[in-house]
Amino acid sequence: MSGQALRDLNVLPPLELDKKPDGSVKGKVCIGSIDENHDKTQSKVPSTMSASSVNDVSSGNNVVEAGNSEVEYIDSENLTDLQDVDACLSTLLARLDSKEWIALCEALNNVRQLSLYHKEKMVEMLGDVIPLIVKSLKNPRSAVCKTAIMTSADIFKIYSDMIIDSVDPLLVQLLLKSSQDKRFVCEAAETALIAMTTWVSPTLLLPKLQPCLKNKNPRIRAKASMCFSRSVPRLGIEGIKSYGIDKLIQTAASQLSDQLPESREAARVLALELQSVYEKSRALPAADSEQVENTDSWEVFCQAKLPPLSAQAIIRVTCTPKDAIVAGC
């Protein structure tokens, strides 16, 4: 075979984008045997994606896998109901444990469809389904990982507090994925974490986040700090007082000296929220004993509840210009 013919065989079809009738975009992508090559190609495709491979082409040690395969990233609002619910349910667990990534992505989307349209039938299966979703979150193929992340986001939204006992492994993986370098996976994980802090009750979620704030990985600590900071305001004034402003301000102080700026900014936002709640609670009518407890200024409160250096750091980020002159912030 001539050298020109060999070079022709090594040339793969370029990315083609076609409009579907519904206005979404279909992209034809070459599926390589090396996952990193697949990810680079896939990252250029919009959220609704179709992947179809080409015929086997080999040159030396380089082999492109063949097969006609499709996977789609479907937004929640575009999910439709299943035609045969019972058949889907009967094979769901097996397909969620499949080694075929296309079948696995389809099964994950089925979980989303079943949760959206047949929530009552899925509730009893969640205990078996969630560990398999966690397994997919660990999958090295980005298409599987992202589909699992989107499934997690829908589960938070649909089941909210019902999945709190199973949230720990999901939380750890989503924090990991939200802090990695692949942008499209990272953005999907961020969306899932926002769904979690939006739909899961903060009283249940905050204790789950607390251990993550001490994780050895600074990126995980940063993402956990952001989730913690988003969750606290949802408690409301009375909820924050019940949870304990002193405990929350200690958490903010610990993150204020953390390695990454995201952690420090989340801690600053949390400290400002707690200061606002503390000042409002002082102004509210209350029982005599509680009123006496809340007569101390914010600065005095911080100094009473925190070590000197931590108190100084919290006061510095929360003091107003007027306070700065008085306290020397």
Q: How many CB atoms lie within 10 A of CB 29?
A: 23
Domain ranges of the chain: 3-64, 75-187, 201-329
Which position has the token pair 């510095």?
A: 316
Token pair for 220: 């995980």
3-state SS, residue 287: coil
**Cβ atoms of residues 70 and 48 within 8 Å:** no
Q: What is the pTM of this model?
A: 0.75
**What per-residue confidence (pLDDT) applies to 182?**
86
Distance CA 314, CA 270 (A): 10
The candidate with the shortest Cα–Cα distance to 315, out of 300, 299, 326, is: 299
**What per-residue confidence (pLDDT) applies to 292?**
41
DSSP labels for 14-75? PPEEEE-TTS-EEEE----SSHHHHHHHHTTS-SS--------EEETTEEEPP---------
**Cβ atoms of residues 18 and 42 within 8 Å:** no
pLDDT along the chain (329 residues), means of 10: 48 43 38 35 40 32 37 88 94 96 95 95 93 96 95 97 94 94 92 97 96 94 96 95 94 93 96 94 62 72 94 90 47
**What per-residue confidence (pLDDT) applies to 282?**
81
The candidate with the shortest Cα–Cα distance to 272, out of 314, 324, 312, 329, is: 314
**What per-residue confidence (pLDDT) applies to 286?**
56
Q: Name, in order, each residue with C-beta under 8 angstroms of 251's C-beta and a sequence gap of 6 or more.
A: 210, 213, 228, 270
**Cβ atoms of residues 224 and 175 within 8 Å:** yes
Question: Cα torsion for 104, 107, 109, 112, to the nearest 10°?
Answer: -130
Distance CA 211, CA 14 (A): 46
**What per-residue confidence (pLDDT) applies to 281?**
86
Phi, psi of 27 (to 5 degrees): -115, 125
How far from chain centre, in Å, is Cα 29? 27
Phi, psi of 65 (to 5 degrees): -70, 145
**Cβ atoms of residues 178 and 193 within 8 Å:** yes
**Cβ atoms of residues 47 and 150 within 8 Å:** no
**What per-residue confidence (pLDDT) applies to 9?**
44
Burial of 170 (0-12, 13-18, 19+ CB in 10 A): buried
Superfamily of domain 75-187: Leucine-rich Repeat Variant (1.25.10.10)
**What per-residue confidence (pLDDT) applies to 70?**
58
